[in-house]
Structures are given as structure tokens and as C-alpha cells.
Structure 1
Amino acid sequence: MSTEPNARPSLAQRFKALRNLPPFLRMIWRTSAGLTIASLGLRLVRALLPVSMLYVGKLIIDEAVRLASLPGPFPAFEQALGSGLLAPLLWLLAIEFLLAISADVIGRLVSYADAMLGELFANASSIALMEHAARLDLEDLEDPEQQDRIERARRQTTGRSSLMSQLFGQVQDVITVASLAVGLMVYAPWLIVLLAVALIPAFIGESHFNTLGYSLNFHWTPERRQLDYIRLTGGSVETAKEVKIFNLHHFLIARYRQLAGKFYQANRALARRRAVWGSVLAALGTAGYYLAYAYIAWRTVRGDFSIGDLSFLAGSFARLRQLLEGLLVGFSQVASQALYLDDLFSFFAIEPEIGSKPDALPVPEPIQQGFVFEDVGFCYPGSQRWAVRHLSFELRAGEVLALVGENGAGKTTLVKLLARLYDPDEGRILLDGRDLRDYDLDSLRASLGVIFQDFVRYHLTAAENIGVGQVDAMDDQQRIEQAAQRGMADEVIASLPDGYAQVIGRRFRQGVDLSGGQWQKIAIARAYMRDAQVMILDEPTAALDARSEFEVFQRFKELSSGRTAVLISHRFSSVRMADRILVLGNGRVEASGTHEQLMAAGGRYAELFALQAEGYR
């Protein structure tokens, strides 16, 4: 929707950013039409109160002056009240009192409506951000530049609710300015021109420094992400052991102090310049006000205006100056915040490249032939090195295939391509003879049960940690318990104080932490929660001892009977139970066969097996 801003957005770019306001207002309207109407309606009434109160004040002064100028001594209060002499004054005082009460009540109602609408907007925009992030390609989420953009967008979901109040306040102030200007136009039209001219320098200055503030925050996004990371690392239970053992807190504090200090220095320099120039430019507006005030006083002394007129004009001019200054400065701030909205809407403008075709097919049930990689090549974005290239092999239906190879051989990349987290740059992947891209993406991923080596530790209950493997069956306790039994996590859960209802992880007070091996069993159970046609275990047993790993893979072999399965492990004692072993090296297949066949052929597999076996002697 918008282009990436440069170091200092030009005037044209700032005005262009105002295009973000209509979609922003539409988002607010969709959040709650009722609260939006209530806030604007209350502000409309509130906008007319200042001129009403000033005019009633003028009438009160004029009436008081009239009463004071009556000939002879003024009657006693009871007599004046009984004769009706004070009736006009008392009525005017009562009206002003009611206006003052109304202004206070309406102000509180506006604050309430804005607070509720702002809260709902923050929630709705946060949900929209999470929904859109879920649609994006893994490439977008792993790209540092996109991570900066996502971080800026995330800040806008909570930081831009103030813009809503400001925009609505601007509408209210415009109406108030119009009503006050009508009053001044009757007496001295040129005062409006004087006031506007006097305030232009302050507006230009405010606009300039708002733009500099945006540029500063924009270009410090990577450093602010670093600050957040260091703050989390220095106070996280996940990192506490290493931080203490290695005395990392000194290093982390020094790094945080260095980055935070640089950001503070940049902010302070900008704040100083803003304060100095803001004071100078604001003085011009003040000078314009007192020039007009002197003119009004002179006309009153000459008898052109009454004392009430003086009070009304002086009050109207003072309030008008304040409102016009606020409107000009507010417009500058709105234009600046519209630049920040670029961060939000540019994130929403990112479209995923990996998706389903309009005529996408459901994945066959059951899979008849399996998968075929035909001369597949893939290079991670921004990398000069091919992760895999000229990769060709078959994964037959119902087969348990093991992938082995040194780090960087392309094993995990192969799994990502199989799940269409990425699409190949060269070649193609077939499923039952059709290109993988011909199938519906949700259907494909629903057919896969995958546990990666860097599985997520959810700080939820044990049941929910397993249930996330099949979200629509999260409340199926029997299915969760069966998955736990298959993944050998049932014994782990039985040892927890609250069993399946126990929150695991130390992030929350009631949580109970697990060992690395226990976490892995929970994660493996998560894969079994899904009744998937293809099961993939990508190094899921690194924290398990040799016996536990053997038991897990033995169970995996039994439960994978009749299913297509992929097993990745560095332990050759485990992969030998696979129907076939694929040896990867430098992003391509170097050998394929059973354990016995590969050992007999020699080569990389036999060499790595011998090295590992030597380590156990």
C-alpha cells in the first residue's frame, strides 16, 4: 500500500502518508460502529459548549454591569429577588452552571468511549496482525528486514490507538473553531487572519520535528529489537543457567547500556533542538495573541465594545488561539503518525507467495504412490549457497525412509520443501504423479505430522501442549491421552501434580518445568495427536538417552506401519531400523539402500557409522 520511507520523509511523502487515515478509520469503524458513533456524537455536542459558555459569560457580565449602573442604591437581595430584578442574571448563571456540568459529564463519557474503543482496536489489530503473520511464507518470517517490519507493525497495534482519539479530537476542535470564528467575524474579521499567520511558524516547526522523530524511531528498529532481546535474555528462566555460570550478566548489561545510551543520546539531541525551536516559534504565536488583545482593549476603551464584549472577545480569541495551535500541531502529529501507520499497512500489504491455486486438489486419501523429488534445487533467500541441488529420489507410500548426513547436508531443508514451507527454485516435487503445488496447501499440511528438532515449548497445560498437534481436537481428552501413550509421554504427565491439567514451563507461577528429554516426549506425543498420512521426525530425540531414543524409534516404527514416514537422526543405531536410508551430502543424494547395503558399499555412510561406533567403545 505504501513504500518504505527513507531516512527523512519529504513533505510529499508526509502528505502521501495521509492516505493511511481512511483505512485506519475503517478499521476503527469495524472494531465497533456503536462506540465510534457515540464518541463522535458526544464530541459534536462538546464542540459547541465553549462558544456557548463564553457567550453566556458575556451576557452575565453585561447584565451585571447594567444592574450596577442603575440609578440610586441597589435594593436588598430579598427585595431584588422578589421584584424580579435579579431574575435574568440568575437564569444566566443557572444556564452557565448547567453548561459547565454538561461539559464535565460529556468529557468523561468521551474518555470512556475512547478508552473502550481504543482497547477493542488494540485487540482487533493484534488479532489481525497474528492472522496475517500466519498467512505469510516462512521466508518472510525468517528475513531480518521483514522481522524489523513485523516488529514495527506489532508496536503500532497498541501504539496507534491514541491517533484515534486525536483524530476525533481534531474533528471536535474544528467545529469549536468554526463556532468561535463566527463570533469573532462579527466584531473584527482581521483578527482571524492575524492569528493564523502567527501560528504558521509553530506548525512548520512541529511538523519538521515530528518527521525527525519518526525517522529516528524507524532507523533504530534493529537496535530496539536487540534491546528487547538482551532484556529478555538477561531475565529469562530459559537462559538463567548459562547467564549465571558464564557470568554473562556483566556482558549483557554492558551491551544493553551501550545500545540504550546511544538511543538516549540521539533522542536527547532531538529533544533539545525541539525544545529550543519550539519555544522560539511558540513565542510568535503568543505575540500575535497579545497584539489582538491590545486591539480589543483599545476598542473597549473607546466605547466600541462593552465589558461583556471584551470578555467574550478576549476569551474567544484566547481559546481560538489555543485551538488553532492545537489543530495545526495536531495535524502535524497526525501526519507523523500516519507515517507510523505505514509500518502497519505495509506489513498487511505483504502477500505470501506460497498458497493454494483456485482449483487446488485435496491430498489423496490414502496416498497411493508417494513423493518424487525431480532434480530439485533450493537456495535460501539472501544466500549464495545452494541448500540442495539436483536432488532426485522417491519416498514411496507406506515406506519408512531415514535421512542421514552431516550438518548442512540439506536434511531439514528437504522436510521444509516437503511441507511447502518453501517451494523449490529448480525442479519439482510430485505427490502421486501431480506437482505438489497442485494440491490445497491446508490439505497437504494436514496430511503431515512433523516434529522439528527445534520444537516449541508451549507454556500451556500438558494436555494443551499435546492438543496443539490437532487444534480442532484440543478438547478430545481420550485422543490426547492416546497420543501421550504413543509418544511415551504418559509417564511424564503422570508424575505432574495436576496431571494433564498441569501448566508446564517456568514462565508462569503455577508452572512446572520439565527436563529436555521430558519436553521432547511431549513434543513427540504432539505429532501422534495428528492422524497424519505422513509422519516426519526431524532429530526429535537429541535430549534423550540412548535407551529412550531406541524405545521412541522402536515405537515410531511400530506405529508407522502402513504409513509413509521420514526419520532424521544422527544416531545410526536408530536409523538402521528404517526400510531405506538416504545419505545426503552437499545438498544431493550420495547413496541409498538398507543399512547392510550401505555398509557393504562403503562410502560416507560406512565412514560415519564407523566413527560413531568408535565413540561408543
Structure 2
Amino acid sequence: MPRGPRHKGGIDTNRKGKFDPNDENQVKHTKIGKVWDLYQERQPELAKVPFSARLNLERYLGLYDSLPFVWRMLKDIGSIRACWLYLGLYLAVQLALSLIPAVELWYSGQLLKIVGIAVEQRTVDKNLLISVALSRVACSIAELFLQHSNRIISQPLNARIKQYYTVHMFNVLARLDVPTFDDPLVQRQLEQAFPTSSRQSVIWRTVAGVVNMGSTTVMLVSQLSVLLNVLRDQQDGPLIAFLSFSHSFFLTGSSNRSLFTRVWAATTHNADFIKLSGLRKAAADSAHRKEIVAGGMWEYMYSEYQRCIHALGEDATEFFDAYEMFNQDRFPSFASIIRRPLHQLPQIVFTLRAVQYPASIPISLASLNLITSTATSFSHTLSRLFEQTGSISDNFTTIRKMYEAINLANRIPDGTVPYPENHQSLKMGMSIEFRNVSFKYPDSNSYALRNVSFKIARGQLCVILGQNGSGKSTVLKLIARLYDPSEGQILVDGQDLKTLRLADLRRAMAILFQDYTHFPLSIRENIALGDPGHSDDIDRVTQAATLGGASEFIERLEDGYDTYLDRPVRDHYSGLPEGTMDLFGRAVSFGKIRGMGEMKSNESTTLSGGQMQRIALSRTFMRSLLSESSVGLLLFDEPSASLDPTAEHDLFGRLQLLRGQKTMIFSSHRFGNLTRNADMILYMHDSVIVEEGSHEDLLKARGEYARIWNLQAQAFL
């Protein structure tokens, strides 16, 4: 199977050079108004080709780069059940449709002959005329049925292709690790590879585009052949036909001035435009509404928006609008100028012919009408052919990006060593050791951890304390291998963390992060995702919800465990606002329909922060119930941040019961009963561990831990 270009972090490493806006030899700079700077990569390979930019050759040559991926696409389509049968029928119908205009043109030629005979002999063959007329009608009806057949065949073909590739797309989106998925370049690559639309998949659009381009070519060739055959006995007919068609070939020269180069960039450093855009987004985003209203900010924002608009004038536009206006100011191209007289020449030749041979005016007039109508159709078809070629080039590029995304490698490499050797050992917990570990988050120059070393023995309870941003959560993320350390080594049961199989390692852990999430699924499924292998075990879900402190309020909800916190599918209503009058004066109300079936769950269910956190806790309990022996490490990042003191006390009691002899690590900024029972406390400040030991040891040391304990701990005893 052909392989695509190698990638590192989502960037094509086979490119010939780096796109450097400051390199005038490789990049062309264009200033568009006051705001935008456009940088386009020059193509030295095409510099010596006349009209290469205007003919958009680079876009068409880009088809070659994508051919290996298109071949892979065809093989994948061939593996889909019954696709070749549907595709064969689709090709046959498209071929028939492409030949109908030529057949209709041939019958028009027969009508032209009937006119010629009538002029010369003053007689009409009525049987031939009726036969030709009925044949023309039959062609129209056949075209209608073929178009309908085309739609019937294309729908299941598109659906099967779309379903096949939807699975691949979901696989890519689901399997990417955190540093890879969070990379903005990868995000942009995924957006380009898997564009959101649409009834039609890009694969089907490409297949249909190639077939349509082939059928369009057949249509053009067949029409030209028939027309020349019809006019070969007409005096000056071929000349008038040539002149009528000649202007069509200059369509490419007058095409819109798009961004021809495949590599280009547009940016702005205009402070007023940047501020204007920021003000517009802030005013439209509901997340900022409370502060705007409470802080009385709107008048300042409005005056600043007005100032920016006045300063920029007509240049206060987005890039593509500015580029379109920029192109409108350019002088017309040579091709668009020459098309004008070419369009008039057939009429001039016909007039000269009529003056020279007045008796031939009727037949010449009929010929001219046939030629001009065919030329008009030809021009539209030829223009559509060029558009289809460009569209196919874009689709081929998207297919290449899609297959490159499918092959996108995670940045956290998988280990090869199975873990653990003996699953029964997990009942006694897991040991964790950090050796001089330092870490920086991607695109950050500051350390989140600096030279951190500690060791947690099997079965110990460890509490990591510190202010927000001190590095507590980072320690847990490194243990779960969401990221790899920049320096140093992490050991699990004495083995290098990087050597262990990721699936085995994460199966042995139960984790709740501070920035927990809720999935757009039912509450039952949100909890069950803690252990997908037992998602159908209703009793287990209920037990996990009880341990997480969520069962009581869940059971009070109208739909209980089937409640959606944020229903992913919205119901649709009329555009008329509720309470207004319709055309016949009746009040519009959706109250009854909202109570029907699924529509009663249309709006999201509002829960408090503490209730949402209890659902997240229940998901963690789902994975680490007492009967479960496959989990040896429990990680909790600020598990009581949204809980009141009573709920927090109950939670810690359940966690102690859950723990058994397993290793448990907490991160928290609170001091209390949990820290007093900890086997080890790590106190962090500014990305380093400043104190380490048991509660009694740290109190005796009279350091920062003891000082904050005396200030805070009593409120949580």
C-alpha cells in the first residue's frame, strides 16, 4: 500500500524548503490595504512557463502529488460491500447522460436538413419531421429518467462510502494522545483532513467529480464531432463554428484571481484591526457577558470599536473580502479583452455571407442559430470542466491530508514490556519513584517541574500539597504518561515508565483530574466509562454512584441515570418565536411537543459544581471498586474542590474504605484529616518539592507546612 510523506508533529517533512516570509527570493509579499499582508511562495519550476499563474498550472500539477493517496482510496472503496456494483451502474448512467446532448444535436442537424430541403424544393417530408420531433422528445424524457436513476444510485453509494470513512475519522480523533492532540498545527491538520459538512463526504465528492469530469469530456468531444458532421456541407458553416467556439477557449484566462500557490499566508499587525476583532468576539461571547454588564464596560468597548472602525475605514474587513476588493482594482486581463471581438465575429461573417448570397439567408440563419446555441452550451460545459478540474485538485489534496492524518503518530511512544507480571500484585499497590524529573509543557519556556525526586512505596497514601500552579497536577499527569518528562526518569515498581505498555499501565490506574470532564452522554454512560468493560453492569454503576455520593440526587432527576447533562442532539422547532402569532393568528407554542418522546430532554440538565464533581468521582469509583483487583494505583487531583466540608468528610471516608492496600496519591491545597493520615506528604512550591515527610515530621520541622497547617487545618477537622 502506498505510504504518504513522513510527518513529525503533523508537519510535512518532505517539503523542499521552509516557508520564510522574509525570503524575497522564495516568497512574494503583497500589501492589501492598511490591514493585511499576503505572502505567497514563488514556484521557480513554473517561472519559465508562459501564463502559468493565470492558467493555474500549479493547482493542476498538485494532482500528481496526491495520486498515491487516490489509489489507496480506490482500493479502500473496493473493499466496501457492493460498492463496485453501484459504481459500475453510476458510470453507465453518467456515460449515457454525457451522450444525450450529442444525440439531441444530431437530431437538430436533421431538422436543419429538413429546413434546407424545404427552402430549395418547397416540400417537407412530414414522416421524417414527426420522427425527428418525437426522437427529440424521447431524448428529453430519457434524460429525465437517467438523472433520476443517477440520484437513486448515488445515494446508497455515498452513504456506504461515508460510513466507511467515518469509522476511520473517529479512530484518529479518539486515539491521539494529549500532546499530539493539543498541538495547534495538528488541530489545523485534522480540521483540513476531516472537514465538517455535509451530506456528501469528500471521498464521494472526489469520485463523483472524476466521473463528472470524464463525462463532461465525452460530452464536449461528442458534441463537436456531431456539429462538424452536420455543418460539413454548409458553406462557411465550419468557419462560423470555429469563430463561435474560439472565444470559449479563453475562459481560463479570465478566471477569478484566486490564491494560486499552494503555500501562502496572510497576517496582520494592525493594532486597530486586532483590537476591533477582539472587541467583537468579547461582545458576542456569553462567557464575558456578566463582567461586561457588572463592570459597566460596554460604553468603553463601544467607543473603542467606533474609533477602530473610523481609523480603518474600508480596510476594516476580513482577509478574503479584502483580497476580493484588491483584485477588482486590477486591470482586465488580455484574455478577457480578446474574448469581446471574438464573440462578435460570427455575426459579422454571417452578415457578409447574407449580403453576398441573399438566397441562402434562411438556411444560414438556421445554421447560425444552431451554432450559437451549441457554442453557448459548449462554453458553459468547458467552463464547468475547468471548475471541476480545480475542484478535483482540491479534493485530491483533502484526501492526501486525510490519509496523512490517519497515519499520524502519537508523540508518546508505546512501551513493549507487559505490566504487571503478576496481576495479583496490584492488590498490594504500586510503587512510584521520580528521579531528578523536570518538565516543561509544550510551547512553554518555564518549568512546571524542576529536578523533582521522591519515592512512594507500595500501598502508601501520599498527599501532594501546594498552591495552584505549584506542579501538583503535573506530577499526576506524568505518572499517567499523558506527557513524558523533559529530563529525568520515572519508575513504576522499579521499571522505567517508558518501557511499559501504555494500555497495561493505564488499566492499572484509576484517575480523577482537577479539570475533569463530562461527556455528552447519559449519566449512566458517564459513570460506566470509568470501566468500559463493565458498562452494561447496572448494579456496578449504581454502586459506583453511591460511593461517589451521586446516587441520591441522580435518583431525584426525572430520567434518573438516563438523564443527559448536555444532550448532543438538538430538537428542531419552527423559526417563529414562542408566544408570537402565526399567519392565521394562532399563538405559537411548543410546550406539548417538548413533552413528547426524546424532545423532553432537549434542554441541558443544570447541576451544581459539587454534583458534577460527584459524577466524575463516581466514574473513578467505577474503575476501582473493592472487588476490582486490576487497579493498583488511585490518583485524585483536587477531588473535593467543589464539595462542602460535610461531603468532603464523607468522600474521604469512602476513599479510605475503597483504598484497601492500594497506593493512593492525592493532590490538594487543603490541609485536614487526609494529611494527618498520610504516610507521606510532598509540599510543593514553584515547581519544586520544598518539604517531604509525614504529618508529624513536618510539624516538628516548623517549616512552611506547619505554618499553613496552623492557619488552615482547624476548619477541616
Asked if TM exceeds 0.5, the reply is yes
Is residue 362–residue 440 contact of structure 1 (8 Å, CA) maintained in 2? yes
For 1:413, the aligned partner's letter is T
In 1, distance between residues paired with 2:268 and 2:181? 20
Alignment of 1:162-311 (within 5 A): 165-184=208-227, 187=232, 198=247, 202-206=251-255, 208-211=257-260, 215=264, 234=284, 245=294, 264-273=317-326, 281-282=335-336, 284-285=338-339, 287-292=341-346, 295=349, 310=368
> In proportion to residue count, which structure has more helix?
1
Q: CA deviation at 1:229?
A: 13
Is residue 437–residue 451 contact of structure 2 (8 Å, CA) maintained in 1? yes
Q: CA deviation at 1:439?
A: 2.0
Tell me which of 367, 375, 381 is aligned to 1:323. 381
Structure 2 equivalent of residue 577 of structure 1: 677
Is residue 245–residue 378 contact of structure 2 (8 Å, CA) maintained in 1? no
Deviation per CA, 1:286-333, whole angstroms, max 9, x where unpaired? 643443565578679867987775555444333222222222343344
Return closer, same or farther for 1:71/1:157 CA change in 2, 3 Å cut-off: closer
Structure 2 equivalent of residue 79 of structure 1: none
In 2, distance between residues paired with 1:379 and 1:337? 39
Alignment of 1:67-146 (within 5 A): 67=118, 70-71=121-122, 85-111=125-151, 113-114=153-154, 125=165, 127-146=167-186
Structure 1 equivalent of residue 40 of structure 2: 8
In 2, distance between residues paired with 1:522 and 1:395? 29
Deviation per CA, 1:409-439, whole angstroms, max 9, x where unpaired? 2211111111111112222222223222222
- My pick for the range that moved more, 86-95 or 361-370, is 361-370
Return closer, same or farther for 1:233/1:275 CA change in 2, 3 Å cut-off: closer
Is residue 633–residue 662 contact of structure 2 (8 Å, CA) maintained in 1? yes
Is residue 377–residue 426 contact of structure 1 (8 Å, CA) maintained in 2? yes
In 1, distance between residues paired with 2:267 and 2:530? 38
Return closer, same or farther for 1:156/1:117 CA change in 2, 3 Å cut-off: farther
* SS of the residue 2:40 aligns to: coil
* SS of the residue 1:453 aligns to: coil
Return closer, same or farther for 1:175/1:473 CA change in 2, 3 Å cut-off: farther
Structure 2 equivalent of residue 496 of structure 1: 557
In 1, distance between residues paired with 2:241 and 2:703? 90
Return closer, same or farther for 1:170/1:127 CA change in 2, 3 Å cut-off: same
Q: CA deviation at 1:489?
A: 0.9
Structure 2 equivalent of residue 538 of structure 1: 637
Return closer, same or farther for 1:249/1:276 CA change in 2, 3 Å cut-off: same
Is residue 51–residue 316 contact of structure 1 (8 Å, CA) maintained in 2? no
In 2, distance between residues paired with 1:610 and 1:252? 46
1:589 aligns with 2:629: no
* SS of the residue 1:385 aligns to: coil
Alignment of 1:325-404 (within 5 A): 325-336=383-394, 344=402, 347-348=405-406, 350-357=408-415, 359-364=416-421, 365=423, 366-367=425-426, 370-404=431-465
Alignment of 1:405-416 (within 5 A): 405-416=466-477
In 1, distance between residues paired with 2:622 and 2:288? 30
- My pick for the range that moved more, 468-477 or 8-17, is 8-17
In 2, distance between residues paired with 1:44 and 1:253? 60
Q: CA deviation at 1:466?
A: 0.8
Is residue 350–residue 364 contact of structure 2 (8 Å, CA) maintained in 1? no
* SS of the residue 2:529 aligns to: helix
Return closer, same or farther for 1:109/1:193 CA change in 2, 3 Å cut-off: same
Return closer, same or farther for 1:460/1:537 CA change in 2, 3 Å cut-off: same
Tell me which of 591, 604, 622 is aligned to 1:529. 622
Q: CA deviation at 1:192?
A: 8.9
- My pick for the range that moved more, 376-385 or 205-214, is 205-214
Q: CA deviation at 1:521?
A: 0.4
Structure 1 equivalent of residue 599 of structure 2: none
In 2, distance between residues paired with 1:94 and 1:457? 67
1:466 aligns with 2:541: no
In 2, distance between residues paired with 1:454 and 1:166? 45
Q: CA deviation at 1:581?
A: 1.6
How high is the sequence identity, in percent, across the aligned residues?
A: 23
Is residue 106–residue 227 contact of structure 2 (8 Å, CA) maintained in 1? no
Structure 2 equivalent of residue 446 of structure 1: 507
Q: CA deviation at 1:57?
A: 1.5
* SS of the residue 1:8 aligns to: strand
- My pick for the range that moved more, 20-29 or 550-559, is 20-29
Structure 1 equivalent of residue 33 of structure 2: none
Structure 2 equivalent of residue 77 of structure 1: none
Which structure 2 segments of 5+ residues have no match? 6-11, 21-38, 47-57, 571-601, 625-630
Return closer, same or farther for 1:139/1:586 CA change in 2, 3 Å cut-off: same
1:437 aligns with 2:488: no
Return closer, same or farther for 1:407/1:86 CA change in 2, 3 Å cut-off: same
Return closer, same or farther for 1:262/1:416 CA change in 2, 3 Å cut-off: farther
Return closer, same or farther for 1:338/1:196 CA change in 2, 3 Å cut-off: farther
Return closer, same or farther for 1:190/1:202 CA change in 2, 3 Å cut-off: same
Q: CA deviation at 1:510?
A: 4.3
Return closer, same or farther for 1:417/1:94 CA change in 2, 3 Å cut-off: same
Return closer, same or farther for 1:50/1:582 CA change in 2, 3 Å cut-off: same
In 2, distance between residues paired with 1:20 and 1:321? 29
Q: CA deviation at 1:253?
A: 9.3
Structure 2 equivalent of residue 48 of structure 1: 99
Q: CA deviation at 1:556?
A: 0.9
Q: CA deviation at 1:385?
A: 1.9
Which structure 1 segments of 5+ residues have no match? 75-84
For 1:52, the aligned partner's letter is V
In 1, distance between residues paired with 2:505 and 2:104? 68
Is residue 163–residue 334 contact of structure 1 (8 Å, CA) maintained in 2? yes
Q: CA deviation at 1:48?
A: 1.0
Q: CA deviation at 1:526?
A: 0.6
For 1:20, the aligned partner's letter is S
In 1, distance between residues paired with 2:392 and 2:462? 59
In 2, distance between residues paired with 1:105 and 1:413? 65
In 1, distance between residues paired with 2:655 and 2:640? 12
In 2, distance between residues paired with 1:362 and 1:93? 81
* SS of the residue 2:531 aligns to: helix
* SS of the residue 1:393 aligns to: strand
TM-score normalised by L of structure 1: 0.82
For 1:270, the aligned partner's letter is Y
In 1, distance between residues paired with 2:551 and 2:73? 46
In 1, distance between residues paired with 2:91 and 2:277? 39
Return closer, same or farther for 1:175/1:248 CA change in 2, 3 Å cut-off: farther
In 2, distance between residues paired with 1:339 and 1:16? 11
* SS of the residue 1:472 aligns to: helix
In 1, distance between residues paired with 2:182 and 2:257? 35
Q: CA deviation at 1:210?
A: 4.7
* SS of the residue 2:454 aligns to: strand
In 2, distance between residues paired with 1:183 and 1:485? 81
In 1, distance between residues paired with 2:671 and 2:542? 31
Q: CA deviation at 1:384?
A: 1.8
Is residue 610–residue 642 contact of structure 2 (8 Å, CA) maintained in 1? yes
Q: CA deviation at 1:456?
A: 0.9
TM-score normalised by L of structure 2: 0.72
Tell me which of 607, 612, 616 is aligned to 2:707. 607
In 1, distance between residues paired with 2:62 and 2:219? 27
Aligned pairs, how many? 601
Structure 2 equivalent of residue 23 of structure 1: 69
Is residue 297–residue 310 contact of structure 1 (8 Å, CA) maintained in 2? no
For 1:268, the aligned partner's letter is D
